[in-house]
Amino acid sequence: MADLPQALDRELAALLGPAWLRDESERLTYAYDNSRQLAVPDAVALPATREQVLALVRACRAQRVPIVARGRGTNTTGATVPVAGGVVVSFERMDAILAIRPDDRCAVVEPGVLNGDLQRALQPHGLFWPPDPSSAEFCTVGGNLACNAGGPHAVKYGASRDNILALTAVTGAGALIHCGSATTKGATGYDLQRLLVGSEGTLALIVEATLKLTPLPPERRALRALYRDVAAAAAAVARLMAQPVTPAALEFMDGECVRLAREHMLANGGGADLPAAAGALLMIEADGDAETLPHAVEALACAAEGEGLLALDDAADAAASARLWAARKALSPALRTIAEGKINEDVVVPVSRIPELVAGVQALARASALPIVSFGHAGNGNLHVNILYDPADAAQTQRAQAALPQLFALTLALGGTLSGEHGIGLAKRDYMPQAVTPPTLALMRQLKTAFDPDGILNPGKLLPP
């Protein structure tokens, strides 16, 4: 990879001063994300204003130097790894909450604000921004928007794309664009703001976002339902989603996940209340106020009942709720204990196809002679399929890698798609032609060219070469 043109280096050093990083030790910090891939950028820019972003993009475009936008690098797909070199633009100094407008149920933020910091600032106003990835404390709103991040509460409140009103962004052509308006309805021309959400920094760099906020429900209560098998749990998911009380969260764990979580909890002095034989578990959350919550819980409990239900536990209070959620929370540490290597996917299928997906994953596990477990956001049909292996074992590693295309083929055959909330990045880029037809992919490339005529924004990501 060639180093930066000297003229560009001087120009951007003058523009950014100490916010233009060229030392290798500094650049290394921005070389990787949660995908564990690594590529050291030629420089790192920490702009403080949209004017700096605009000047930077124009300068880089003139020299055809790649630009990779970065929040905090929590994504799992390699979307922020600068594989083509160039400049990483980290938005850590553009982290202001510019306005909270409770009457308009919106907030105006810079892209670098942390999701968790935003939620804390909104809480006194009785509002929240729905996307709640597990990395919420460490990830930025700009990164959430770039990846269309979701989380457990997306089943009721939507993912990032459902919670955006307006964006200001700098395209790869060096144009400052204003998309949408701070209103919950709009039919004024093409919807560019939702197109930018999920585009992984390949079309434009977001410099300001107007977020749609939702009133914070004052109370939550959890139900834990254990089922004989996945089919019984999936039928319950369909019943839960077909009645008018939408669950605030509807999380699924397959039998192997229940077993692993139970073992992990037993080893740590808990988990005795979890039956060993359950084939599937659902965590069902209701939210609301003190008066409506009992009715909501009752409606959800009623929908959870049915053929194959082994046990239904209702949390009486927050402590009991935490006990019920313990199994779900124990899962990630439990998975780490059984394998060093983990391919964590987030495929999504229509809710009715969950049993076939899980059965197919179990068959794939047998055929691959590897543990493969499924859990996640059942109300959206969005399952985290984790292929577990020992990276020190070449044969296991090869089998794990070979299982991945089979998982995607299964998902697509069930009418699903590659990613529900992680995005494509590098990791799934080469599977795009299986998920998207050639004319549709060709059109995506043409849109990319309209926004970024020289292909300088996050090259090599999302679209296959």
Q: Which of 185, 269, 272, 319 binds a second copy (CB under 8 A)?
A: 185
Distance CA 253, CA 331 (A): 9
Residue with tokens 């995506």: 444
Give the interface size with a second copy as a residue count (CB under 8 A).
100
Distance CA 96, CA 113 (A): 6
Please tell me whether residue 98 binds a second copy under the rule CB under 8 A. no
Please tell me whether residue 191 binds a second copy under the rule CB under 8 A. yes
Single-letter code of the amino acid located at 41: P
**Nearer to a second copy (CB atom), residue 88 or residue 348:** 348
Q: Cα 93 to the chain's mean position, in Å?
A: 23
Q: Which of 24, 103, 317, 319 binds a second copy (CB under 8 A)?
A: 103
Distance CA 77, CA 33 (A): 8
Single-letter code of the amino acid located at 408: F
Q: Which of 424, 427, 456, 457 binds a second copy (CB under 8 A)?
A: 424
Instruction: Work out how close the CB of 360 gets to a second copy at its nearest, in angstroms, rounded to a whole number.
Output: 16
Give φ, ψ of 352 to 5 degrees: -65, -15
**Nearer to a second copy (CB atom), residue 224 or residue 448:** 448
Instruction: Work out how close the CB of 254 gets to a second copy at its nearest, in angstroms, rounded to a whole number.
Output: 19
Please tell me whether residue 436 binds a second copy under the rule CB under 8 A. yes
Instruction: Work out how close the CB of 323 gets to a second copy at its nearest, in angstroms, rounded to a whole number.
Output: 25
Please tell me whether residue 465 binds a second copy under the rule CB under 8 A. no
Strands 87-90 and 67-70: parallel
Site for a second copy in 115-134 (CB under 8 A): 126-127
Instruction: Work out how close the CB of 125 gets to a second copy at its nearest, in angstroms, rounded to a whole number.
Output: 8
Q: Which of 154, 205, 278, 378 binds a second copy (CB under 8 A)?
A: 154
Please tell me whether residue 380 binds a second copy under the rule CB under 8 A. yes
Region from 5-13, 135-143, 247-255, 445-453 binding a second copy, contact rule CB under 8 A: 445-453
**Nearer to a second copy (CB atom), residue 73 or residue 420:** 420
Site for a second copy in 228-247 (CB under 8 A): 238, 241-246
Please tell me whether residue 422 binds a second copy under the rule CB under 8 A. yes
Distances from the Cα of 302 to the Cα of 99, 246, 284, angstroms: 42, 13, 12
C-beta neighbour count of 232 within 10 angstroms:
20
Element holding 211 (H helix, E strand): strand 204-212
Q: Which residues contact 377 (CB under 8 A, 6 or more apart)?
A: 150, 151, 152, 154, 155, 249, 250, 251, 252, 383, 420, 421
**Nearer to a second copy (CB atom), residue 10 or residue 295:** 295
DSSP string across 303-363: HH-STTEEEEEE-SSHHHHHHHHHHHHHHHHHHHHH-SEEEEE--B--GGGHHHHHHHHHH
Region from 12-20, 153-161, 335-343, 359-367 binding a second copy, contact rule CB under 8 A: 153-161
Binding mask 381-420 for a second copy (x = CB under 8 A): xx--------------------------------xxxxxx
Binding mask 337-356 for a second copy (x = CB under 8 A): ---------x-xxxxx----
The answer to whether 8 and 55 have CB atoms below 8 angstroms apart is no
Q: Across the beta sheet with 280-288, what order do the strands follow? A: 309-314, 219-227, 280-288, 249-254, 372-377, 382-389, 341-345
Please tell me whether residue 223 binds a second copy under the rule CB under 8 A. no
Q: Which of 10, 51, 215, 430 binds a second copy (CB under 8 A)?
A: 215
Instruction: Work out how close the CB of 166 gets to a second copy at its nearest, in angstroms, rounded to a whole number.
Output: 10
Q: Which of 73, 85, 288, 360 binds a second copy (CB under 8 A)?
A: 288
What tokens were used for 388?
Answer: 């577990």
**Nearer to a second copy (CB atom), residue 24 or residue 190:** 190
Q: Which of 102, 116, 270, 371 binds a second copy (CB under 8 A)?
A: 102
